């Protein structure tokens, strides 16, 4: 970077200065941060990276959206454990194509997301990169001791549910990649799709409801696509899962846009990813109580299938009309050839 590194760091992270207290002993500005979780809580730690051309393009994401989304992807992982996000560490590698003002906007997005979820930035690193911008965010949260919800406790006979809608972010990305079409705003309601991709919502409230209910046996966040997340639950739990295509919650505007571009919205739902909804399992006996809790909290909650005994290996099947079809183990994979 052509500018003085340390002055830029102070400028970009100025909103974190002097935030000690409430569990934080040493904040940003020293060699390391120091915090003390309550004795009855456990730390939840997660880290996600966003790399230019791999996770975003300048034509699909404003700088502030990049920062915002980098935080949300981590907060969503904490939500999938039933926890609450508390602190964030931000590392950024800046290529020559990015100006200090654009980086300032990235940090504005970071702080906007942190403020929305009660997270404090407590440290990180800033370096230069030769070709593309790299942004990595680590979030530290907390959850009641011994109560973190894992992927591995799904049992045959349980119901499979998902919060919110799925496929919306992928539809938004498709729209944004059209360039001229997205900029003209052909149909105003389709802006909802772009918002879902650029400014997703982490389901902390839903995760806490599930933890407090004690009803949820397995939970995952929908970051790499519904199929990928269900496969993870099936394999971790040693079960198979059957999903009813007719019940998968897809937003009406996604269906409308899918008809317009002649796409199957289920493809976006199962393989698009970045919806950051929660998908999990619970016993049938808990369904009525949990669904009432979600309805009272205004959080959409939909049963989409059931957990079944595995035959030889875990499977993921889709019931569509009168057919049962295998759902491949797909979704976004950084290392898949081709």
Percent above pLDDT 70 for the chain: 84
Closest CA to 81 of 243, 220, 249: 220
Question: Does the annotation flag 275 for ligand binding?
Answer: no
> At what angle are helices 63-79 and 191-198 packed, to 10 degrees?
70
Mean pLDDT of 220-238: 95
Q: How far is CA 113 from CA 37, 69, 213, 303, in A?
A: 22, 8, 27, 29
**H or E segment to which residue 49 belongs:** strand 41-51
Least confident of 8-12, 207-211, 252-256, 265-269: 8-12
Please state the rounded mean pLDDT for residues 143-170. 96
User: Across residues 279-283, what is the average pLDDT?
Assistant: 98
CB 271 within 8 A of CB 331: yes
Which pLDDT score, from 0 to 100, does residue 17 have? Answer: 54
- Is the confidence at residue 73, as pLDDT, over 50? yes
Is 27 annotated to bind a ligand? Reply is no
Supply the pLDDT for residue 180: 43
Mean pLDDT of 19-48: 73
Which of 306, 338, 336 lies closest to 324, judged by CA?
306
Identify which has the larger pLDDT, 195 or 189.
195
The answer to whether 195 is annotated as binding is no
Question: Would the CA dihedral through 172, 173, 177, 183 be positive or negative?
Answer: positive
Q: Which residue has the higher pLDDT, 16 or 192?
A: 192
- pLDDT value, residue 39: 81
Q: Can you list the domains of the chain with their CATH numbers?
A: 5-144 (3.30.1330.10), 158-326 (3.90.650.10)
**191 belongs to an annotated ligand binding site:** no
Q: Which DSSP helix (H) or strand (E) runs through 279?
A: strand 278-282
What tokens were used for 54? 């791999």
Residues 11, 18, 22, 36, CA torsion sign: positive
The reply to whether 124 sits in an annotated binding site is yes
pLDDT at residue 242 in the model: 97
The predicted structure's pLDDT at residue 322: 86
The pLDDT, as a whole number, for residue 19 is 62
**How confident is residue 333, by pLDDT bands cut at 50, 70 and 90?**
very low
276 in a labelled binding site:
no
The reply to whether 125 sits in an annotated binding site is yes
Q: Could you give the CA distance from residue 193 to residue 170 in angstroms, rounded to a whole number? A: 8
Tokens of 319: 């019931």
- 4 assigned ligand-binding residue: no
61 close to 97: Cβ distance less than 8 angstroms: no
Q: Is the pLDDT of residue 336 over 70?
A: no
- Look at residue 55 and give its three-state secondary structure: coil
Is 274 marked as a binding-site residue?
yes
The sign of the torsion formed by the CA atoms of 226, 230, 231, 232 equals positive
Answer yes or no: is 321 a known binding residue. no
Coil, strand, or helix at residue 161? strand
Asked whether the predicted pLDDT for residue 194 surpasses 80, the reply is: yes
Q: In this predicted structure, which of 53-62, 84-93, 179-188, 211-220 has the lowest mean pLDDT?
A: 179-188
Share of the chain above pLDDT 90, in %: 73
- Crossing angle of the two packed helices 191-198 and 252-261, in degrees rounded to 10: 110
pLDDT by residue (tens digit) across 84-135?
999 999 999 999 999 999 999 999 999 999 999 999 998 899 999 999 999 9
Q: Which of 57-61, 110-114, 334-338 has the lowest mean pLDDT?
A: 334-338
What is the per-residue pLDDT for 185? 45
Average pLDDT, the chain: 88
Identify whether the C-beta of residue 103 lies closer than 8 Å to the C-beta of residue 138. Answer: no
233 contacts 279 by C-beta, under 8 angstroms: yes
The whole-number pLDDT of residue 181 equals 45
* Residue 200, Ramachandran bin (φ over 0: left; ψ between -120 and 50: alpha; else beta): beta
Residue 77 labeled ligand binder: yes
Are 137 and 70 within 8 A, CB to CB? Answer: yes
Of residues 294 and 6, more confidence is placed in: 294
Rg value, the chain, Cα:
21
Q: Is the pLDDT of residue 153 over 70?
A: yes
């Amino acid at each position: 970077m052509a500018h003085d590194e340390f002055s830029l760091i102070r400028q970009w992270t100025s909103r974190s200065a002097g935030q000690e207290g409430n569990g934080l002993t040493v904040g940003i500005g020293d060699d390391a941060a120091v915090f003390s979780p309550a004795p009855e809580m456990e730390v939840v730690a997660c880290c996600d990276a966003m790399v230019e051309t791999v996770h975003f393009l300048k034509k699909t994401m404003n700088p502030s959206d990049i920062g915002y989304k980098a935080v949300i992807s981590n907060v969503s992982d904490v939500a999938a454990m039933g926890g609450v996000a508390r602190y964030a560490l931000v590392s950024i590698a800046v290529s020559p194509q990015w100006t200090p003002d654009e980086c300032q906007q990235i940090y504005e997005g970071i702080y906007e997301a942190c403020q929305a979820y009660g997270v404090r930035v407590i440290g990180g690193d800033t370096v230069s990169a030769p070709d593309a911008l790299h942004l990595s965010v680590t979030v530290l949260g907390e959850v009641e001791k011994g109560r973190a919800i894992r992927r591995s406790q799904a049992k045959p006979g349980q119901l499979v549910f998902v919060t919110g809608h799925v496929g919306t972010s992928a539809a938004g990305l498709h729209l944004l990649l059209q360039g001229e079409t997205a900029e003209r705003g052909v149909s105003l309601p389709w802006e909802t799709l772009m918002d879902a991709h650029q400014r997703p919502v982490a389901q902390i409230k839903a995760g806490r409801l599930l933890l407090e209910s004690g009803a949820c046996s397995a939970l995952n966040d929908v970051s790499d696509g519904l199929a990928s997340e269900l496969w993870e639950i099936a394999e971790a739990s040693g079960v198979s899962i059957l999903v009813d295509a007719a019940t998968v919650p897809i937003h009406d505007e996604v269906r409308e846009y899918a008809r317009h571009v002649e796409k199957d919205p289920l493809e976006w739902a199962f393989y698009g990813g970045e919806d950051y909804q929660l998908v999990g399992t619970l016993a049938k006996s808990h369904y009525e109580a949990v669904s009432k809790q979600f309805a009272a909290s205004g959080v959409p909650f939909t049963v989409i299938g059931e957990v079944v005994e595995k035959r030889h290996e875990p499977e993921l099947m889709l019931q569509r009309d009168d057919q049962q079809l295998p759902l491949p183990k797909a979704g976004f994979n950084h290392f898949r050839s081709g």
